[in-house]
Amino acid sequence: MLTKACDVLVGGLHVLGGVGNRLFGVIVLSLSLLNAGELAAESEGTSTGDRGLGGTVYLHETFASYDVGAIPGNPSLQRIDLVSVVEGDGRVGSGKVAHFNDSDTDLGGAMEYNVGEGSRGSLYVELDVLNNDPSSGESSASVILGVGQWGPGKGLVLNAKATRAFGFEMYQQKYLKLRVGDDTTASVKYDPTVPFNVKMWVNDHDKNTLSYKRPDTGETALLDPDSVVVWVNDSLLGELKPSGSPMNREVTKGDSVVGRVGFSSSSTKTADFLFDNLHIEDPLGESAPAPASSLAPAETQEVTLEQLPGAETMRYREGENAMNLFVYKPNNWKPGDKRSAFIYFFGGGWTTGTPQKSASMAAWAAEQGMVGIAPDYRTKNRFDTSPHASVADGRAAFNWVLKHADELGIDPARVAVGGTSAGGHVALWTAIEKSPPRSNPAEAPTQKPAAVFLVSAVTDTSSDTGYTPSRFGDDAVALSPVHQLDAKMPPIVMFHAAYDELVHYSTAVALHDRLIAGRNECELITVPVGGHGFTSEYAQWKTKVMAKLDEVLKREGLLPIVR
């Protein structure tokens, strides 16, 4: 194996709150630095045989062949920013090391490699790391080791959660985390003053397990299909199982997809780490079909809901693409009330999610006396559709509400819409007159919403600056709200985290600026903490979002419910 930079003592078990109100166990590591001479001696002359893996080596970079101050120029390197070679001085690995110094708040650092000449079905990755300046930086500043799809392009492809199978996040202060999309699947506190060694196995097979040797015992373990396992100093990261954690299904769907490995950081925060002995190879493990009971593809984990507690189910479209929405009526509701209404669309990247995720917002509206509505729309997991269908359904649901205002007991001129992430994208399209590609003009809304309320919304899907333009094919601009705004738009209020690495903050700023330039009303609230799921990460900001929503509804005459 590569040099083992630290011994590890497993301390007490701590519990931290995580995304979606789940709890994650965190093992506190107490690390002791090995003698620098032993470290250097152990790392010299490392070979595939010494490592005991025996696979084809795609990258073995010790940075020894470069001059101090040079930029590493490995032929596999696809992009590099804010990385240079420095003397390691025995602090990590041996000899020279790569200094990842994202000291510029206008640029993000990057060091990305294509490994091999095509996609890979499995990978073994190992490296030595040292936090070069543990006393500096904010708690959310990090360098992220990501794995994604192999590709010949030079552009940065691993800087967004949607483009990587997973991200191993090394924070400037205290934490190492494994994140898949928005979800933290493992987290561990570490001592940022001493180096650590990372080993990970990646299994990009939809149905087969991958055998590998556990670093702690040498026994054979089985890594689940489409999964990754991470070991830090020969101990499992947090509460990961030896069988690993599922990767981003959108990235890894199909066998032999991965092959891009790299490091990236935020463009607004600084991170300072040293890396050495970066080694990537094809693991010498056996691949075998997984037991049927252990296979749980993401596509089968969600079901289309027919009812939600406390809500009335209504069908807004019949036929082949039949779809429901869920209506929460306030106490003392009557058909002739002419109440205001609030429609909220769930997020999930047009791939996952159900109205259960937006039910709380609709129920909250009903508690205020409004009619709250949580529409369903087609997603890739449940219907194998593209974002085109999600947008078409959102517009159809809003139009149905307007046409059935009397039945719902609402004033069609006093209907606000909102949405989170991709749900925000869907909500914006209810406020744009032109029919987007693959939408039925007959289902186009007959009027605009009274107001639009957005949280971490996707507002740009264009190929140059947008979120996942590949999902839209030739329609990336045609389905990009910021590029299709009407001259007159309803008032828009949006929350967006400045450090959102999934849907970049710059896209929210661009929408705000374009609306203001067109003399429309738009308010952008910049969230200074957290990322894409900041309301789950910081309870105080969820409270602020709801307080602002109440303020907006009152300001726009939607509360009180009777004018």
**The pLDDT value given to residue 456:** 97
pLDDT at position 466 over 90: yes
pLDDT (tens digit, 9 = 90+) per residue, 89-99? 889 987 999 99
Q: Is the pLDDT of residue 1 over 90?
A: no
pLDDT at 53: 54
Instruction: Indicate if the alpha-carbon torsion angle 32, 38, 42, 43 is positive or negative.
Output: positive
Q: What is the mean pLDDT of residues 146-150?
A: 91
Q: What percent of the chain has pLDDT over 90?
A: 64
pLDDT tens-digit series, residues 95-122: 999 999 887 767 778 899 998 888 899 9
pLDDT of residue 156: 62
Helices (H), 289-410: 359-367, 380-383, 387-403, 405-408
User: Of 502, 461, 508, which Cα lies nearest the Cα of 481?
Assistant: 461
CATH topology of domain 310-555: Rossmann fold (3.40.50)
Over range 129-148, report the average pLDDT. Answer: 87
Average pLDDT score, the chain:
85
For the chain, where do the domains classified as CATH 3.40.50.1820 start and end? Answer: 310-555
**Using CA atoms, how far apart are residues 368 and 416, in angstroms rounded to an integer?**
14
Predicted local confidence at residue 455, as pLDDT: 98
Distance, in Å, from the CA atom of 382 to the CA atom of 244, rounded to the nearest integer, reads 25
Taking only the tens place, the pLDDT of each residue in 24-82 is 222 222 222 222 222 222 222 333 333 435 678 999 999 999 999 999 988 888 888 89
d(CA 42, CA 25) in angstroms, rounded, equals: 33
* Residue 64: strand, helix, or coil: coil
What is the rounded distance in angstroms from the CA atom of residue 231 to the CA atom of residue 280? 15
Q: How confident is the model at residue 292 (pLDDT cuts 50, 70, 90)?
A: low
Q: Which residues contact 113 (CB under 8 A, 6 or more apart)?
A: 59, 74, 76, 77, 78, 260, 261, 262, 280
pLDDT value, residue 562: 63
Q: Which fold has domain 6-294?
A: Jelly Rolls (2.60.120)
The count of residues in the chain is 563
- Tell me the whole-structure pTM to 2 decimals: 0.55
Mean pLDDT confidence for 380-387: 93
Residue 169 contacts residue 217 (beta carbons within 8 Å): no
Backbone angles phi, psi at 166, to 5 degrees: -165, 165
Where are the CATH 2.60.120.200 domain residues in the chain?
A: 6-294
The confidence score (pLDDT) of residue 32 equals: 28
